[in-house]
Amino acid sequence: MIWIWLALALALLAVFTRVYLNGPDLREYDQPPGEQFGPGRPPSEAHAEVVASLSVGAGPIREAPRKEQLRLMRQYMDQISDGLDLAASFTPADAGGVAAEWVLAPGADSSRRLLYIHGGAFVMGSPRSHRNITSRFSEISGCAVLAIDYRLMPENPRRAGVEDCRTAYEWLLANGPQGPSQAQKIYIAGDSAGGNLALMMSAWSRDHGSRKADAVVALSPLTDATLGSPSMKANIETDAMLGPMFRGLSRFPRPLLLWVGLVQNRTTPAHPTISPVFRDLHNLPPTLVHVSEAEMLCDDGRRYVNRAVAQGSPARLQSWQHVVHVWHMFYPQLPEAGEAWDEIGKFLSEVG
């Protein structure tokens, strides 16, 4: 009798995992591939230098005791933009209780505002770590950029970061660098984990905010926390940044990882708040998504854009063949980064 009950329990567990944790089947959104840049073109010489620097920088972290690795990763990431010749100024700000900084390139219009949400796997990163990106966004858009220091895991639950993004967005609508004033234009952008939050905010601004964003830019975004995209496994060996970090996880069965995600995020991995690809994607702001065809998150971006377009939203996917995850942060060293920033500038000019 005990074996019958055990078999029944396992069957129920499998059904729960498949229905509530796994999310809908998205394979129909694996095509079309989007606008591809440089197909067949080899990576630049500078790209090899970037990959080598990532390996060197991560070496001491991998060799450190596990309990020290997160602290060292945060320290390493926060220093990425140090020493760069950046055009913008950086001023601390309090965005309705959320720590942030204003990023202002020369000539930035304070009535045009962009909320920037940094990446870092939800456990690291800060406005300081992403200054090369936020400075460039202010330059090409003419916007006053507000880069937020949202609460990170594991010290805080995942939803704490979500709440900080919402709070900062509402504050940004009514406050500029010089004080209270209404925004004439409002944009949202983010990379990787921050791209996830930016796309979450895109739909939230449509449904719950006091004003829908005018446009959204997501760089190498995570859109599916169920880890269901084909490139999550297929690109482990070609992803020079994420591959070494997450290669160990690929050895575990995906159902086990889904349960870990449930415990870690305190909600199902397929919940639209943390997996924006599963949200209702109609009537979204104009959206530009950039991915590398070599990175693990490539198909996350592709599926999001194709599903948004299928629901009538003006979304666009642009991909580069060989580059590292969020290669934009290596501007101006990488020619591919310059090309990507040119496309972002064109997009923002088009949406006005």
Residues acting as catalytic residues: 192, 295, 325
Residue 116 CA from chain centroid, whole number: 10
The whole-angstrom separation of Cα 74 and Cα 83 is 17
158-174 helix and 193-207 helix, angle to the nearest 10 degrees: 60
Residue 235 and residue 154 in contact, taking contact as beta carbons nearer than 8 Å = no
The whole-angstrom separation of Cα 273 and Cα 259 is 17
What are the two backbone dihedrals, phi and then psi, of residue 46, each rounded to the nearest 5 degrees?
Answer: -65, -30
The whole-angstrom separation of Cα 321 and Cα 199 is 23
Which residue matches tokens 């079309």?
Answer: 32
What are the two backbone dihedrals, phi and then psi, of residue 98, each rounded to the nearest 5 degrees?
Answer: -100, 125
158-174 helix and 254-265 helix, angle to the nearest 10 degrees: 60
Cis peptide before 157 (omega within 30 of 0): no
The whole-angstrom separation of Cα 209 and Cα 206 is 6
Cis peptide before 154 (omega within 30 of 0): yes
Cα-based torsion angle of the residue sequence 256, 257, 258, 263 in order, rounded to the nearest 10 degrees: 100
